[in-house]
Structure 1
Amino acid sequence: KDFLSCTLSLGMILLSVTLSVLAVLTTAINSLVITAIIVTRKLHHPANYLICSLAVTDLLVAILVMPFSIVYIVKETWVMGQVMCSIWLSVDVTCCTCSILHLAAIAVDRYRAITDAVEYSRKRTSFRAAIMISVVWLLSILISIPPLLWRHHKINAEDQCFIKHEHIAFTLYSTFGAFYIPLILILILYYKIYRAAKILYHKRGVSHLSKAEMNGHTIPKSSDREQQSLETLSPPEKSVSEPSTEGDRVRLSAQSPNVQPHRERSLQRQRISGTRERKAATTLGLILGAFVICWLPFFIQEVIVNTCSSCSPSSEMANFLTWLGYLNSLINPLIYTIFNEDFKKAFQKLVKCCNYY
């Protein structure tokens, strides 16, 4: 018995330390993103204001939600009273819903930026970004409040803190509003973004070819605004069309005194286009994959538990799925900034400043 008790205690200590590390990392990384956007003038762009608001939301999850969840899991009972329970659940549901809706708002912003680059660049102002952020927060509150208000009409045990809907209407309202509708929207938009990016990358790959190379047909060059839109999906890379070494230049000069052979240039442009398409697909795959893996299991569980009275997962499984969702607040700032060169440079400057002091 003593050995079993010791093993359980060590397991609980390890679990609490692991969850605490996740909470600290989530706090640190989201704080880094917010600070980088605030202090770096080059990042003062409406698209980055949405990312900053997302980081604020995920930071609230790390500070106001995760610590109470850790205590609840370690104690295996709710010890902070029902008033605190109601406050914690309100913040939890609202912030997690807001984080998900921010991802949908970012998808809408990127879709508009890449499919209507010239017109949307005029509309993409700080004021419009503020309106989008306000709408996201308002929708989050409207989706979260009704199920929480209904909870007050039910009798809850003093040592428990959770939301269970006895009416399927509340389950459908909360789960579809907070996840399933945003999920469908995000999947459709990112599919369209990838198709549009593929076309624009191809345009940019062939737009530098001469009239002779295009059999006498002129292909219009993609605009600067289109290129900026593409860079939200993958970072710019060094063109492979330029000879990288003196030997290459001598070899190319020997082949043709003035210009690179048409066929070779065409193949190089195609390789550039293909590389950028793959990077765009990788970025979008990471965004969608992280979102679906983190949140889909939790919301499937929510539908099953609240529609099937005899279906109840173990506390360990429920805690695992909940924290899998919380993990998205750690992944979001990494995915939405790591592929952007401006963010990388801003992070490096901040880290150097911290090390200096």
Structure 2
Amino acid sequence: EDLNDSLYCFPHLSDSCLRADRYPVTKAIMYTFMLAIILVTVFGNLLVIMSISHFRQLQSPTNFIILSLALVDCLLGCLVLPYSMMRSVEGCWYLGETVCTLHSSLDMGLSVASMLHVSLISVDRYWAICDPLRYGGHSTALFVAAGTSITWLFSIMFSFGVVASKVNLVGMEMLVESLCVGTCVLLFNKQWGIIAPLLTFFTPAAVMVSLYLKIFYVARRHAQSISDRLVTTAVSDQKERKAAKTLSFVVGVFLLCWMPFFITTIIDPFLNFSAPASVFDALVWFGYLNSMCNPLIYGFFYPRFQRAFHIILSRQIFRQNSSNTKMDTA
């Protein structure tokens, strides 16, 4: 009887879910891998937040969007990923329906906010490279403030609204009632399985790809005319091409991490939800990897961020007056 009890999430309930049947070594490997993702996500994004907040050299319009993105990804790592790790490894949700609803809302909201921030950075880079004469000053600051505020508000209101209203479950009442106790999944019916991915992923992805192609075209056109320009302009063009290459990497990682999950989200309701839970779980964690990669991309690809990280990690920041801590600008 004790052996049978250990097979269930809630042994005293007749409709309890089964625990995940995994070897202890498998669980240990999963916990180690997921904990590493959480730690890199949290502390990597904290480094970005500290760097931009402390060093004036990093306080540009683009970097304020990156600061907001880092805050989103850090909150995802702190508030969502630890509970997702427990659910993924144990195969059980022990925290009840209310916390499950809050977790699902935060999971969806912060993930959407992260994706929309990446798209917002693409718009900012497009404006800076393709229309540099109008980029800068009050209009840019207003764009950043409005863009980040709208991104946060839309992501949280949309996600909490969908989960709280249960509009995503309309027509699926029989399926929801048949779920065992100890599960916490975010399901979508056929309609919202299309609407949600279209609004939160495919539209931002299309914007990013189209803007990147335009940026690449402009940077290449500028590069072809370098021989007719001054050296200072050539250096500027080189920076434009580097920005275009970095953005292409950003778009590539973004699509690689999230595309499999959203394609499955669209297809699964039409296949009578035949995708195994373990596959969905793996795809969700693959999407989470994007929040881990963001500080690596925006931080470690830029020398100024590298120097800021070095000053913070070597604790030089504590040995100097905080207002006088400076980075080499070479």
Category of TM-score, reference length = shorter chain: 0.7 to 0.9
Q: Which consecutive unaligned segments of at least 5 residues does structure 2 have?
A: 1-19, 320-330
Q: What is residue 197 of structure 2 aligned with on the other side?
A: 175
Q: What is residue 326 of structure 1 aligned with on the other side?
A: 288
**1:288 maps to amino acid:** V
CA offsets, 1:208-232, max 9 Å, x none? Answer: 39xxxxxxxxxxx8499xx2x8636
- Root-mean-square deviation (CA), in Å? 2.7
Equivalent position SS for 1:34:
helix
Q: What is residue 62 of structure 2 aligned with on the other side?
A: 47
Equivalent residue runs for 1:309-348 within 5 Å: 309=272, 311-348=273-310
| TM-score, length of structure 2 as denominator length | 0.81
The 8 Å contact of residues 107 and 186 in structure 1, kept in 2 or not, is answered as: yes
Q: CA deviation at 1:171?
A: 1.7
Q: Measure, in 2, the Cα distance between the counterparts of 1:325 and 1:293.
A: 8
Alignment partner of 1:131 out of 146, 167, 171: 146
Equivalent position SS for 1:118:
coil
Q: Measure, in 2, the Cα distance between the counterparts of 1:186 and 1:222.
A: 26
- Judging changes above 3 Å, is the alpha-carbon distance between structure 1 residues 230 and 62 closer, same or farther for their aligned structure 2 residues? farther
Equivalent position SS for 2:315:
helix
Q: CA deviation at 1:13?
A: 1.2
The 8 Å contact of residues 212 and 248 in structure 2, kept in 1 or not, is answered as: no
Alignment partner of 2:186 out of 146, 154, 163: 163
Q: What is residue 184 of structure 1 aligned with on the other side?
A: 206
Q: Measure, in 1, the Cα distance between the counterparts of 2:277 and 2:187.
A: 14
Alignment partner of 1:104 out of 94, 119, 124: 119
The 8 Å contact of residues 16 and 70 in structure 1, kept in 2 or not, is answered as: yes
State whether structure 2 residue 83 is matched by structure 1 residue 68: yes
Q: Which consecutive unaligned segments of at least 5 residues does structure 1 have?
A: 210-220, 236-279
Q: Measure, in 2, the Cα distance between the counterparts of 1:6 and 1:106.
A: 43
Q: What is residue 26 of structure 1 aligned with on the other side?
A: 41
Q: Measure, in 2, the Cα distance between the counterparts of 1:201 and 1:123.
A: 29
The 8 Å contact of residues 94 and 144 in structure 1, kept in 2 or not, is answered as: yes
**1:161 maps to amino acid:** C
**1:163 maps to amino acid:** L
Q: Measure, in 2, the Cα distance between the counterparts of 1:169 and 1:6.
A: 34
Alignment partner of 1:195 out of 191, 213, 217: 217
**1:195 maps to amino acid:** Y
Q: What is residue 258 of structure 1 aligned with on the other side?
A: none
Equivalent position SS for 1:159:
coil
Structure label with greater radius of gyration: 1
CA offsets, 1:35-85, max 9 Å, x none? Answer: 000110101111100000011111111111110011111221111100000
Q: CA deviation at 1:354?
A: 6.5
Q: CA deviation at 1:7?
A: 7.3
| TM-score, length of structure 1 as denominator length | 0.75
Q: CA deviation at 1:322?
A: 0.6
**2:254 maps to amino acid:** F
Q: Measure, in 2, the Cα distance between the counterparts of 1:326 and 1:31.
A: 16
Q: Measure, in 2, the Cα distance between the counterparts of 1:207 and 1:117.
A: 17
CA offsets, 1:188-238, max 9 Å, x none? Answer: 0011011111122333343139xxxxxxxxxxx8499xx2x8636528xxx
Q: Which contiguous aligned blocks of 4+ residues in structure 1 show a shift greater than 6 angstroms?
A: 354-357
Equivalent position SS for 1:120:
coil
Q: What is residue 269 of structure 1 aligned with on the other side?
A: none
Q: Measure, in 2, the Cα distance between the counterparts of 1:119 and 1:93.
A: 35
Q: Measure, in 1, the Cα distance between the counterparts of 2:286 and 2:316.
A: 31
The 8 Å contact of residues 27 and 89 in structure 2, kept in 1 or not, is answered as: yes
The 8 Å contact of residues 116 and 200 in structure 2, kept in 1 or not, is answered as: yes
Equivalent residue runs for 1:1-357 within 5 Å: 8-151=23-166, 154=173, 155=176, 157=179, 158-166=181-189, 168-208=190-230, 222=233, 227=236, 231=239, 234=242, 280-281=244-245, 283-309=246-272, 311-353=273-315
Q: What is residue 212 of structure 1 aligned with on the other side?
A: none
The 8 Å contact of residues 46 and 125 in structure 1, kept in 2 or not, is answered as: yes
Task: Report which stretch shifted further, 285-294 or 143-152.
Answer: 143-152
- Judging changes above 3 Å, is the alpha-carbon distance between structure 1 residues 123 and 205 closer, same or farther for their aligned structure 2 residues? farther
**2:277 maps to amino acid:** S
- Judging changes above 3 Å, is the alpha-carbon distance between structure 1 residues 223 and 355 closer, same or farther for their aligned structure 2 residues? closer
Q: Measure, in 2, the Cα distance between the counterparts of 1:354 and 1:67.
A: 31
Count of residues in Structure 1 that have an aligned counterpart in Structure 2: 293
The 8 Å contact of residues 100 and 184 in structure 2, kept in 1 or not, is answered as: yes
